[in-house]
Structure 1
Amino acid sequence: MEYQDILYTKQDGIATIMINRPAQYNAFRAQTCEEMIHALKDADFDRTIGVVVLTGAGDKAFCTGGDQGTQDGGYGGRGTIGLPIEEVQSAIRDIAKPVIARVNGYAIGGGNVLVTICDLAIASDKAQLGQAGPRVGSVDPGFGTALLARVVGEKKAREIWYLCRRYTAQEALAMGLVNAVVPHDQLDAEVKKWCDEIVEKSPTAIALAKKSFNVDTELIRGMGGLAMHALKLYYETAESAEGGNAFREKRKPEFRKYQK
């Protein structure tokens, strides 16, 4: 595959997948998802690779979720909602190698979900994390909610989704959403250090450990698949459209008028 939206490199047993849409704060569209799936599968099959790093281009954003600027009622790709994000999430979980989120900036919405799903997360002290779904007429009714509750606790997960606040890297560390926070100029060195330690370990033992960890939350995958069909119906409502329209028009959404 010829990549347009990501940069994919391999070196010293480390595969790096970088979302390369900095002008869009590394928000993903259907094409981005297809390329991420392809790269994750390639890294999985490559026996020289021991760990994968997922990140975003530039210093401003890790990933800010689905590109609302291109949605306009539908993302235009395949999958239940026209965006194969379910497959991206499954690919991160299914690859028999640890995936480390290198959180270099904003990890908002679907970007925060990616951080949640990755095996490990290392954040710059400039990073900010949080959800935006209910603010823009969307939600991630699978790993983004249920797995998040396992990671940070149910009360905190509900706070994150209901209030759509942003959290500093240190706050994310305190709630268990990331593993480490370092000064921004030390982020690459810290990520490399963690990767090197993993690459030294038995790949089979690591794979077995990852698969074992996933067993406990595997039910979420089926629940999420079912919920995505409900999400598709929601996206077809005026209430959901109001969120995207308000975002593009840079105004406060008026969701309650659609409840009359």
Structure 2
Amino acid sequence: MGLTDILYEKVEGVAKVTINRPKSLNAFRAETIKELIWAFRDAWDDNRIGAVILTGAGEKAFCVGGDQKEKGDEGGYDYNGGLGGGIGLEVENLHQTIRNIPKPVIAAVNGYAIGGGHVLHVICDLTIAADTAKFGQSGPKVGSYDAGFGSAYLARVVGEKKAREIWYLCEQYTAEESKEMGLVNKIVPASELQEEADKWARKILEKSPTAIKMLKYSFNADSANIQGISQLSMGSLAMFYNTEESEEGKNAFLEKRPVDFNKFRK
């Protein structure tokens, strides 16, 4: 397919998927998600591929989540070609594809991994971070949330207390802080990130593909129930995007002004 929002290459058994919207800090829109799903499915179907690397173009960002500028007047994202789970983005489909592809997915986090971009790296099997990377959530600040894998699975990774902190406070964390809480496997200088991700991918290629596949299935089994939670989350999010409360978060972000949610507590 013709790719506009991502870069995709396969080299000696490793597939590399790069979100290529650096001017938007690699924020995703409907087309981005569509292309990401296509790339992961292509890597899934290619028996020569043993590992996938997911990263972002440029030096500033891995991905900062959904592009607020792409949100339509009715709250959801403009999407041509399907319902997108009700919010105009096939995010749930992408999450499932990354989790279920029977090959390890390595997130090479080169900068900001915020909001929906943070969820993407959490879902990946492994995360290698540049020493300049920043991690965190932003949903409640902009009238959004991921009450599926973005929260329920995050709690499995870092523990419930820390996961609640990440979502309730929407702070940003350094690569070192993220490694301490179990979000990151390894930190390297930014200039060495892609090389290190490639090294890890090639170490995986040396292992039995069937063993790796079955191990991934086993790791996923314990949290498989989150898929149902994710479906409920995306359904509720579609309705929430049509409210004035969600609209206030989006508008405040786009207008670069302080958000005012206090009026919704009356």
Query: Same fold by TM (over 0.5)?
Result: yes
- Counterpart in the other structure of 2:77: 75
Please show how residues 43-82 of structure 1 align to structure 2 within 5 Å. Answer: 43-72=43-72, 73-77=75-79, 78-79=83-84, 80-82=86-88
Amino acid at match of 2:60: K
Q: Secondary structure at the match of 1:114?
A: helix
Q: 2:92 aligns with which of 86, 107, 117?
A: 86
- CA RMSD, Structure 1 to Structure 2 (Å): 0.7
Q: How many correspondences in the alignment? A: 260
3-state secondary structure, aligned to 2:258:
coil
Q: For 1:190 and 1:223, how far apart are their aligned partners in 2?
A: 34
What is the CA-CA distance between 1:239 and the residue it aligns to? 0.4
Which residue in the other structure is 2:8 paired with?
8
What's the offset of the Cα at 1:213? 0.6
Aligned to 2:141: 135
**8 Å Cα contact 2:76/2:238 also seen in 1:** no
Q: Which amino acid aligns with 2:124?
A: C
Matches within 5 A, 1:37-48: 37-48=37-48
Normalized against structure 2, the TM-score is what?
Answer: 0.96
TM-score, structure 1 as length reference: 0.99
List structure 1 segments (4+ residues) > 3 angstroms apart after TM superposition: none
Deviations 1:8-41 (A, max 9, x none): 0000111001000000000000000000001100
Q: Please, which runs of 5 or more residues in structure 2 have no aligned partner?
A: none
Q: Which amino acid aligns with 1:74?
A: G
Q: What residue identity is the alignment partner of 1:102?
A: A
Contact 2:6 2:32 in 1 (8 A): yes
What's the secondary structure of 2:102's corresponding residue? coil
C-alpha distance in structure 2 between counterparts of 1:93 and 1:205, whole Å: 16
Task: After superposition, give the CA deviation of every residue in 1:176-203 in whole Å (9 maximum; x if it has no partner).
Answer: 0010001111112211110110011111
| Aligned-residue identity in percent | 58
Shift of 1:258: 2.3
Letter in 2 for 1:119: D
Query: Which whole-Å CA distance do the structure 2 matches of 1:228 and 1:44 have between them?
Result: 25
Which of 213, 219, 230 matches 2:236? 230
State the match for 2:259 in structure 1: 253
**Is 1:197 aligned to residue 192 of structure 2?**
no
Amino acid in structure 1 at the alignment position of 2:78: G
Q: Contact 2:106 / 2:126 at 8 angstroms: preserved in 1?
A: yes
Which one of the candidate residues 221, 226, 230 is aligned to 1:220? 226
What displacement does 1:254 show? 0.4
What CA distance in whole angstroms lies between the structure 2 residues aligned with 1:243 and 1:41? Answer: 34
Give the Cα–Cα distance (whole angstroms) in 2 for the partners of residues 221 and 151 of structure 1: 16
> For residue 217 of structure 2, what is the aligned residue in structure 1?
211
Residue in structure 1 matched with residue 24 of structure 2 by the alignment = 24
SS of corresponding position for 1:16: strand
Alignment of 1:37-186 (within 5 A): 37-72=37-72, 73-77=75-79, 78-79=83-84, 80-186=86-192
- 1:155: Cα distance to partner? 0.2
Q: Is the Cα contact below 8 Å between 2:110 and 2:193 reproduced in 1? A: yes
Output the CA distance in 2 between the equivalents of 1:227 and 1:101: 24
Mean CA deviation greater in 91-100 or 64-73: 64-73
Moved more, 18-27 or 224-233: 224-233
Distance in 2, matches of 1:185 and 1:19, equals 18
Q: Report the CA distance between 1:92 and its aligned residue.
A: 0.2
Equivalent position of 2:34 in the other structure: 34
Deviations 1:99-119 (A, max 9, x none): 000000000000100111000
Q: Which runs of 5+ in 1 are unaligned?
A: none
